[in-house]
Amino acid sequence: MSIESTALDTTELYQRVLQFYARQSQLLDAGDVTAWAATFTADGVFAADAHPEPVNGRGNIERAARAAADDIARRGLRRRHWLGMVDVTTDDGTIRSRYYALVFLTPIAGQAALHVSTTGEDVLVRSGGGLLVRERRISRDDLGAGAA
Amino acid sequence: MSIESTALDTTELYQRVLQFYARQSQLLDAGDVTAWAATFTADGVFAADAHPEPVNGRGNIERAARAAADDIARRGLRRRHWLGMVDVTTDDGTIRSRYYALVFLTPIAGQAALHVSTTGEDVLVRSGGGLLVRERRISRDDLGAGAA
Amino acid sequence: MSIESTALDTTELYQRVLQFYARQSQLLDAGDVTAWAATFTADGVFAADAHPEPVNGRGNIERAARAAADDIARRGLRRRHWLGMVDVTTDDGTIRSRYYALVFLTPIAGQAALHVSTTGEDVLVRSGGGLLVRERRISRDDLGAGAA
């Protein structure tokens, strides 16, 4: 494979990851939890240091996300997940992404505010023409554990 | 068209949209309203659910933006538009973009703060080597109407 | 060089700058100040309008950054640099980037908050397969000097 095509692959993959995150966040924030859960592999894992243990499997991930989305809606809030500073690496065919994520909440007729700052680490896999999350680990900046 | 060149087109278009939004925001935030308005088509439409009705045509868009920029300057504020989570799709040659936008305000000698969280939907058209906005719809998260 | 390959170069460079900023911010925010300083050229310059004069040379840049990082750690804070709205231009082989940067701070067991909003201007140079900062100028939005 020539240097040119390697460079193209990296650029193309990076763009796909950014766009994947954009769509994924918009699905979750719009309350379309089933479509959001479908962006994980069937055996996907969602681990967050704010939760006592990892959630395993797309069905469980969907149920946990729906409970959270319902709670947000009940409180009359709009939620926006911003992922940024995305660093994508590939190693032996494994696509890893490390990024920051901010969650903003806006009450209807109220003031938008930053809710929480986090760091995310994903293992992504190609599926058809797109990407799926096989593993996601979210570390909240306000919790003492985990890397700085 | 081969799969490779299609992929390249998507990656290239996505990069151009990101860079277009970067330049566009920087123009508006620097108070260069005429140059900012020139990023819309002559018959461009700017619709915001915070305003009673859409603004039609580049000249009117420029006048409305100048009034807002003058007000910001008069109050001694610096304004920064951040667009993110950009999802670009093309359909029948129409380029659509759906994104989040945050506005931050900083008073001189004061504390930077999040002003408002919004969602944007653009119809973009190619023009020369670049892009122009033909239609922009901004929905504020704090207003009850519109999609979640 | 054909139009196609020029377009590829632009797209590829833009992706590299975004990923470079992601890695660079993550290094600094993780307290890995030596690796962060290595993203500047040996004769790199870091100028910030919040400081009385520019810092010259990688060694001095590292020392200044370490003092700031130590202070953040001592206060029990986590710091996150978000760079966005990145506009990259090339002229006579010089790569220039103009962008916004936000700094968020989160106390352990406390509330994440926006600390400061800034604008950055970099001169970047290619080095090996990557990029280095030769010159960085940061303007705080809360200071009166500099461009709007």
Pick from B11, B15, B84: CB nearest C84: B84
Q: Which of B36-40, B95-99, C49-53 has the lowest mean pLDDT?
A: C49-53
Residues of C in contact with A112 (CB under 8 A): none
pLDDT given for residue B116 in this prediction: 98
**Confidence bin at B50 (pLDDT 50/70/90):** confident
Q: Is the per-residue pLDDT at A2 higher than 70?
A: no
SS3 content of chain B, % helix, strand, coil (to 5): 35, 45, 20
Question: Which carries the bigger pLDDT value, residue B37 or residue C91?
Answer: B37
Determine whether the interchain pair B22/C148 forms a contact, defined as Cβ–Cβ distance below 8 Å.
Answer: no
Q: Is the per-residue pLDDT at A147 higher than 50?
A: no
**Chain C nearest C-alpha distance from A128 (Å):** 23
Pick from A73, A84, A112: CB nearest B116: A112
Pick from C10, C141, C147: CB nearest B106: C141
Name C125's bridge partners. Answer: C132
Long-range contacts of B31-40 (CB under 8 A, 24+ apart): B31/B69, B31/B73, B31/C148, B33/B62, B33/B65, B33/B66, B33/B69, B34/B62, B36/B62, B36/B65, B37/B61, B37/B62, B37/B65, B39/B131, B39/B132, B39/B133, B40/B132, B40/B133, B40/B134, B40/B136
pLDDT given for residue B2 in this prediction: 39
**Chain C nearest C-alpha distance from B106 (Å):** 6
Q: Is the per-residue pLDDT at B13 higher than 80?
A: yes
pLDDT given for residue B147 in this prediction: 47
Q: pLDDT tens, B104-120?
A: 999 999 999 999 999 99
Question: What is the mean pLDDT of the segment spanning B29-55?
Answer: 96
**Confidence bin at B9 (pLDDT 50/70/90):** confident
pLDDT given for residue B128 in this prediction: 87
Pick from B87, B102, B142: CB nearest A23: B87
CB C11 within 8 A of CB A13: no
Question: Which chain B residue has the Cα nearest residue A83?
Answer: B85
pLDDT given for residue B1 in this prediction: 36
From residue A84, alpha-carbon distances to A87, B54, C77, C101, C102 in Å are 9, 31, 20, 12, 12
Separation between Cα atoms, residue C2 and residue C5, nearest integer Å: 5
- Mutation target for B interface from A6, A21, A80, A116: give the one with most B CBs within 10 A: A80
Interior angle at CA A148, CA C20 and CA A17, nearest 5: 40
Average pLDDT, rounded, for chain C: 92
With a CB-CB cutoff of 8 Å, which residues 76-135 of chain B face chain C? 78, 80-84, 104, 106-114
pLDDT given for residue A71 in this prediction: 97
**Confidence bin at A50 (pLDDT 50/70/90):** confident
Question: What is the mean pLDDT of the segment spanning A36-65?
Answer: 97
**Chain C nearest C-alpha distance from A113 (Å):** 9
Question: Which carries the bigger pLDDT value, residue B128 or residue C65?
Answer: C65
Determine whether the interchain pair C82/A100 forms a contact, defined as Cβ–Cβ distance below 8 Å.
Answer: yes
Question: What is the mean pLDDT of the segment spanning A28-38?
Answer: 98
Element (H, E) at A54: none
pLDDT given for residue B145 in this prediction: 55
Q: Which tokens go with C76?
A: 């029990």
Separation between Cα atoms, residue B148 and residue A73, nearest integer Å: 10
Question: What is the mean pLDDT of the segment spanning C129-136?
Answer: 95
pLDDT given for residue A1 in this prediction: 35
**Confidence bin at A144 (pLDDT 50/70/90):** confident
pLDDT given for residue C1 in this prediction: 35
Q: pLDDT tens, A5-16?
A: 444 489 999 999
Question: What is the mean pLDDT of the segment spanning C50-76?
Answer: 96
Q: pLDDT tens, B84-93?
A: 999 999 988 8
Q: Is the per-residue pLDDT at B8 higher than 90?
A: no
Question: What is the mean pLDDT of the segment spanning C90-118?
Answer: 96
Q: Is the per-residue pLDDT at B130 higher than 50?
A: yes
Average pLDDT, rounded, for chain A: 92
Question: What is the mean pLDDT of the segment spanning A26-53?
Answer: 97
Question: What is the mean pLDDT of the segment spanning B64-85?
Answer: 97
Whole-complex ipTM: 0.92
**Confidence bin at C95 (pLDDT 50/70/90):** very high
